[in-house]
Structure 1
Amino acid sequence: MSTRTLGLDTNLYEYLLSVSLREPEILAQLRQETAQHPMGRMQIAPEQGQFMALLVKLLGAKKTLEVGVFTGYSSLVVALALPPEGKIVACDHSEEFTAIARRYWQQAGVADKIELHMAPALETLDRLLAAGEAATFDFAFIDADKSNYDHYYERSLQLVRPGGLIAIDNVLWSGRVADPQVQDNRTTKIRAFNEKLLQDQRVTLSLVPIGDGLTLALKN
């Protein structure tokens, strides 16, 4: 995991932020608080958040899905990019992490846009499908346990509409996916997932080397 784009030295990374990052103060505050958390490395990079907000606006998204909330940076950045009637269905099971998220959603005035489901994400996704919500989402962001990435992807692919976009985080996994000596379970799962998506003709694919690697899968 990485809280900044891989492969850039410090000077170049700081320059990138200095000429491109337009981070609202509420997001900066959340990012700074999360950096002090023992699990702060799970935070997405600010430039990735801004990129996701741009994608949401390009799509004209009104209904989005998030699998894995953590302290709420990604959901907050998406909520701020959505129109007033926009909605996020967010999946997480940690009361500790999402308590921080809820506090910032309230401060930013977007809590009414975010419907948080506190349950294992697969259960929530299956309930959405059973409730007839297939092909009703414009955008989905997956950033949760890597062992279930394929399951989250398959359900998200059903839930997003044709022309909708799925974004999947951590697909470069701090570079470990490219090291054949690394064979732990999470790394091998991400490798297999990346290889599957390369062959998946149901989507138009791009892996963007921003943050810790962000795969974009546009549903055909």
Structure 2
Amino acid sequence: MLFRALKKFRLPSLPSLLPPSSRAIVSNSILSNVKKNFLFPREFHNSQTLRSSSPFYLKSEDTDYSQSMTSKLPEKIQLIAKKTAEMENSIMMISQTQGSFFALLVQVLKAKRILEVGAFTGFSAACFAEGLRILGNKDDSKVVSIEYNKEYYEIAKNNINNAGYSDLVELILSDGASALKGMDNSKQFDLVFIDADKAGYKNYYDIILERNLLSDDGIIVVDNVLFFGYVHKVPKLEAEGKLDTLPVEFRDHFIALSRFNEYVKNDPRTTQVLLPVFDGLTFVRKNI
């Protein structure tokens, strides 16, 4: 569905997945040829890595097929996705397949309390809430979702209410750092999803750990950590003094995400896995 919404974009090339989620407006100098191969960077495909461990291309037909073989989200959540796809910045929404994955992840973790930094239109929050509902709406079950943009906050609020999840989703209009610093850390979260401003990722991550907002068995999931397949280019380009060759619209995003990825990789407090799926998802767990 989202790819149909993106047909209007015509760009030079993309070395990786044209992601269904990105917390920024995507301009014509970044997006490229949605119909062509995407998901894993071309550099990986053409590397000398053994074929048995080498990532492979997925095409738009593969993602469509994956979605068709995935348990469908309720119509009320699909309606949020449909309405969001009509918005100018629809690229900021996660895909329905990723939403289905998140609903399943809640069930697998048997999560009760979920924290989301970056609500956008409420689609991902609704997916988390659906996972909670399937588990049985246990006491204290809740999705706490933070959104800085007032327009998006109001849209998310209406979408959540109309979809019937207002009993499970608490929306907070605030910048991420202020909201996190003011939270009651006596009630920890089992799942945290970070999908907001990229420059703020490190700060959100640190506050969550330093204030002990994550339960011992909980995980943090961070979105867009590959960001169009440009993030992995940053260290080499920086060493060569060529950071100015990165697309200017998102240069700061690429650099911030590269710094964040390195920071988490070297953080002795946690163990992490960065998966090359969607636009890159990092899963983080505390070292107990």
TM-score of the aligned structures, taking structure 2 as reference length: 0.71
- Choose between structure 1 and 2: higher strand proportion: 1
Cα distance, 1:65 vs structure 2: 0.6
Give 1:168's aligned amino acid: V
Query: How much identity, in percent, do the aligned residues show?
Result: 35
Give 2:102's aligned amino acid: M
Q: Which residue pairs with 2:225 in the alignment?
A: 171
**Number of aligned residues:** 217
Whether the 8 Å CA contact 1:67–1:143 is kept in 2: the answer is yes
Q: Which residue pairs with 2:39 in the alignment?
A: 6
After superposition, what is the alpha-carbon deviation per residue over 1:121-175, rounded to whole angstroms, capped at 9, x for unaligned? Answer: 11110001xx4x1571111100000001000111222210111110001001011
- In the alignment, the residues of structure 1 paired with residue 19 and residue 255 of structure 2 have an alpha-carbon distance, to the nearest angstrom, of 18
In the alignment, structure 1 residue 61 sits paired with structure 2 residue 111: yes
- In the alignment, the residues of structure 1 paired with residue 256 and residue 213 of structure 2 have an alpha-carbon distance, to the nearest angstrom, of 23
Q: Which residue pairs with 1:189 in the alignment?
A: 256
Which of 189, 192, 204 is matched with 1:140 structurally? 192
SS in 2 for 1:110: coil
Cα distance, 1:213 vs structure 2: 0.9
Q: Which residue pairs with 2:177 in the alignment?
A: 122
SS in 1 for 2:94: coil
Give 2:220's aligned amino acid: I
After superposition, what is the alpha-carbon deviation per residue over 1:86-136, rounded to whole angstroms, capped at 9, x for unaligned? Answer: 1111111222112222222112221121121111111110001xx4x1571
Whether the 8 Å CA contact 2:272–2:285 is kept in 1: the answer is yes
Whether the 8 Å CA contact 2:119–2:146 is kept in 1: the answer is yes
- Over the residues paired in the alignment, what is the CA RMSD in angstroms? 1.8
- In the alignment, the residues of structure 1 paired with residue 85 and residue 277 of structure 2 have an alpha-carbon distance, to the nearest angstrom, of 19
Whether the 8 Å CA contact 2:107–2:131 is kept in 1: the answer is yes
- In the alignment, the residues of structure 2 paired with residue 102 and residue 116 of structure 1 have an alpha-carbon distance, to the nearest angstrom, of 7
- In the alignment, the residues of structure 2 paired with residue 139 and residue 202 of structure 1 have an alpha-carbon distance, to the nearest angstrom, of 17
Pick 1 or 2: higher relative contact order, CA cutoff 8 A, min separation 6.
1
- In the alignment, the residues of structure 1 paired with residue 274 and residue 96 of structure 2 have an alpha-carbon distance, to the nearest angstrom, of 18
Which stretch shows the higher mean deviation, 100-109 or 35-44? 100-109
Choose 1 or 2 for highest CA Rg.
Answer: 2
SS in 2 for 1:20: coil
In the alignment, structure 1 residue 38 sits paired with structure 2 residue 38: no
Give 2:265's aligned amino acid: L
Whether the 8 Å CA contact 1:66–1:140 is kept in 2: the answer is yes
- In the alignment, the residues of structure 2 paired with residue 99 and residue 37 of structure 1 have an alpha-carbon distance, to the nearest angstrom, of 14
- In the alignment, the residues of structure 2 paired with residue 135 and residue 192 of structure 1 have an alpha-carbon distance, to the nearest angstrom, of 30
Give 1:182's aligned amino acid: L
SS in 1 for 2:81: helix
SS in 1 for 2:278: coil
SS in 2 for 1:6: coil
- In the alignment, the residues of structure 1 paired with residue 186 and residue 262 of structure 2 have an alpha-carbon distance, to the nearest angstrom, of 25
- In the alignment, the residues of structure 2 paired with residue 21 and residue 201 of structure 1 have an alpha-carbon distance, to the nearest angstrom, of 37
SS in 2 for 1:16: helix
In the alignment, structure 1 residue 76 sits paired with structure 2 residue 126: yes
Cα distance, 1:21 vs structure 2: 4.2
Which of 136, 154, 166 is matched with 1:111 structurally? 166
- Choose between structure 1 and 2: higher helix proportion: 1
Whether the 8 Å CA contact 1:135–1:162 is kept in 2: the answer is no
Which of 275, 284, 288 is matched with 1:208 structurally? 275
Q: Which residue pairs with 1:219 in the alignment?
A: 286
